[in-house]
Chain A
Amino acid sequence: MSTDKATAVQEKETQEHNWDEYLQSYYEKPASTRTWSGYEVKEIYTPEDRASEDYKATVGDAGDYPFTRGIHRNMFRGRYWTRREVVGIGSPADTHERAAYCFKNGGMGLNTIADVTYEMGLDADHPWAKNEVGLTGVNLSHIKDMETLVGDIPLDKVSWSLITASTAAAPTMAQYVAVARNKGYDIGCLRGSIQNDPIHFRYCGFRPACPLDLSVKLGSDVMEFCTREMPKWYYTTVNMYDLREQGITAPQEIAYGFGIAMCYMDELIRRGLPIDAFAPRFTFYVSCHIDFFEEIAKIRAARRMWAKLMKEKYGARDPRSLHFRFAVHTAGCSLIPQQPLNNLVRIAYEALAAVLGGVQSLHCCSYDEPMCLPTEKGHLQALRTQQILAYETGVTNVSDPLGGSYYVESLTDTLEQEALRYMKEVEGVGGMEEAIRTEWLDRRFEEEAIKRQKEVDNQDKLVVGVNLFTTEEEKTTPLGVQRIPEHSARDQIEGVRKLKMSRDKRKLNEAIKKLRDAAAEGRNTIPAMIEATQAMATTGELLGTVREVFGYSYDPLNIIESPFH
């Protein structure tokens, strides 16, 4: 560029730059002083902002009731949180490979997620599955798929988090146990968790697979079975995260999540299990959204509320029953495709909030979540975000470092009061099961989601790249795009077809009959599902058989019919 030309460009830019605007932005102050959930906060908090209180009774040290400050006294000095990245892609072999990659790079726990076809309870050869096998997770149609997923991973050593949330969690548990038994493991030694929260999955698009009664039945069957057989296994992760992703606020996340947890607990009590036999195995999946202090306050409030609920309402005595154990998933819905590298920053703040809140296990979203499944580089970056937090920042030194902050304690109180108000509202409509049945809860989600969009439209909520500091949209994804290998779905479909032709029909039919009888006689279905899995029954066949006993169509989509009549 010639000097003249360069000067001309510079002059033009100077002319175009609005210096009044510059001056305005120099003196700019925040337009809103509300939290993400809409609570007005003051400019400074002082000792006056907290009612005179008994510290021991309402806050307490970490490790002491009501556990506001953490469930262990020494928190991360005792043990880091588990760095657990969710993996689910293509075939069981593809997923195994990516999980092994995360493991090799310092991921501590395995965390595999089912795809939409599996969550719906469809085998890969179902007419509706063919377009979507492996797109959002892994499809496990039968025991051999689970064997491939497990591969050479030592099941008695690793902690495996199996993310199947719908009624398909029952087959997942059966398939995992069947593989473990076939490999000679004592299932009492298995460590890990299964999501197994079919009620919440009604709100994630899986209603046909999750009728309310069947959700309570199969969800509770998994819980009861594990209570008796697998003492080290966490058999439900009540998914508050997915509820939050619907657009609700922080206190609603607690209130509705606890409401769903109580549906399962009440059923287990009806079955005659004492609260302390199962409450220590309940865990939660919590969102960490972008409002830093509010999310920390939410976690602290949830911990206190859960302890009180378990002690006062359910009469739990075992201290472990009072622990609100939780994993955090940084908020996928806070990420946007515009200026996607900014998501790395959002994720890091959200992860920091999770750690300062005293998280047990953390999944950082990959920055490319609004575009595609995580690429290998995306996964690695998410893992590195956790590792920098753990090893460089020093945040692991002290339990609940924000405890005693006038603001954080006050906000914790606010979140607790608000969550209690929402829980009362649910009681007012007849309890959570009723709120679900009458679609009262659906309406809450829809209202809140619309509010959230309007807040962004009106600039009540600011999002860099959406309603300020916008730039032209990128044409490419910075670290590439994850694609599903083309042969993966084909192999998966072929695999289940072959299995269905080659198995011992007599043995299979007997096992299916046993499962049907167990369901019809009100017995726990998991032992029969394990046996049927070993007899090569598929996911769709296990679920379909139980569905029919409950009066539902064999196929959740009502397209194929049972091969067992």
Chain B
Amino acid sequence: MSKEKIKVVISKVGLDGHDRGAKVVASLLREAGMEVVYLGMYQTPESIIKAAIDEDVDVIGVSYLSGEHLVFTPLIVEEMKKKGLDDVLFVAGGSFPPEDIPAMKAMGIDEVFRGGSLTEGFVSYIQKHVGQKGAE
């Protein structure tokens, strides 16, 4: 890892207003020693990726709770590709059916964390995988 602190952007996308999980995750990642840019609600794929570039983050975390995961995931991935963010980890959290997880991963999400995830799980996942993606 080149930088000392892992830097993460956490965001909602579109109109989905369920932001409790995103805020909690942002706080817990900070407590785990990461630097977190919390974008909050009403973001677009473009605004998330712009922030990811401006802030030079290692991880993008997006929260989906309104059934919008299959709509926005390809748009975010496309934007990441367009801007060359090939080595940035993309994780998603929220509510979605297990049936959709293979599709989300095929679209380009590296890992998903649904409701009932423990902090240790997503913190250690990020610590382990950050910076590995480009090298694969």
List residues of chain A with CB under 8 Å of any chain B CB.
116-117, 120, 122, 128-129, 131-132, 135-136, 204-208, 245-247, 335-338, 368-373, 445-446, 449-450, 453-454, 456-457, 463, 465-467, 473-477, 481, 484, 557
Interface centre among B15, B98, B115 (most CB of A within 10 A): B15
Residues of B within 8 A of A131 (CB): 14, 68, 71-72
> Cβ of A128: which chain B residues have Cβ within 8 Å of it?
14-15
Task: Chain B residues near A370: list those with CB within 8 A.
Answer: 95, 114-116
- 4 A-B pairs besides A368-B97, A446-B23, A456-B118 with CB distance below 8 A are A131-B71, A205-B16, A336-B116, A475-B99
Supposing A135-B67, A370-B114, A475-B98 touch, asked if A450 and B28 sit within 8 A by C-beta, the answer is: yes
Interface check B83, CB cutoff 8 A: no
Closest beta carbon of chain B to A133's beta carbon, Å: 10
CB-based contact B119/A453 at 8 Å: yes
Q: Which of A204, A205, A337, A457 has its CB near the most chain B CB atoms (within 10 A)?
A: A205
Dominant secondary structure at the A interface: loop
Contact pick for A205, options B24, B27, B41, B72, CB 8 Å: B41
Q: Is the interface of B mostly helix, strand, loop or mixed?
A: loop
Residues of A within 8 A of B24 (CB): 247, 449-450, 453
Q: Which residues of B contact A372 (CB under 8 A)?
A: 67, 95-97
Cβ-closest chain B residue relative to A372: B97
Query: A337 touching B98 by the CB < 8 A rule?
Result: yes
B14 touches A132 (CB 8 A): yes
Chain A residues whose CB sits within 8 angstroms of the CB of B67 once the complex forms: 135-136, 372-373, 484
The listed residue with most A CB atoms (<10 A of its CB), out of B20, B24, B114, B120, is B20
B27 proximity list for chain A (CB < 8 A): 446, 450
Q: CA A454 – CA B24 in complex, angstroms?
A: 10
Task: Report B1-38 residues with CB < 8 Å from chain A CB.
Answer: 12, 14-20, 23-24, 27-28
Least Cβ distance of A490 to chain B in Å? 13
Residue in chain A with minimal CB distance to B12: A205
Q: Which residue of A lies closest to B102 (CB)?
A: A475
Chain B 88-102 near chain A by CB (<8 Å), digits 1 or 0: 000000011111100
CB nearest to B101 among chain A residues: A475
CB distance from B31 to the nearest CB of A (A): 9
Report B-chain residues with C-beta under 8 Å of the C-beta of A466: 116, 118
A140 to chain B, nearest CB (A): 16
Contact (Cβ within 8 A) A132 B68: yes
A463 touches B116 (CB 8 A): yes
Tell me if B42 counts as interface (CB < 8 A to partner A).
yes
Contact B118 A467 (CB under 8 A): yes
What residues of B have a CB within 8 angstroms of the CB of A475 in the complex? 98-99
Inter-chain CA distance A476–B114, complex, in Å, is: 14
Q: How far is the CA of A129 from the CA of B66 in the complex (A)?
A: 13
Bound-state CA distance A514–B114 (Å) is 49
CB distance from B115 to the nearest CB of A (A): 5
> Which residues from B are CB-within-8-Å of A371?
95-98
Rounded to whole angstroms, the CA-CA distance of A264 and B68 in the bound complex is 34
Given contacts A131-B68, A463-B116, contact A476 B17 (CB under 8 A): no
Residues of B with C-beta under 8 A to A456 = 118
Enumerate B57-114 residues with CB–CB distance to A below 8 Å.
Answer: 66-68, 71-72, 95-100, 114
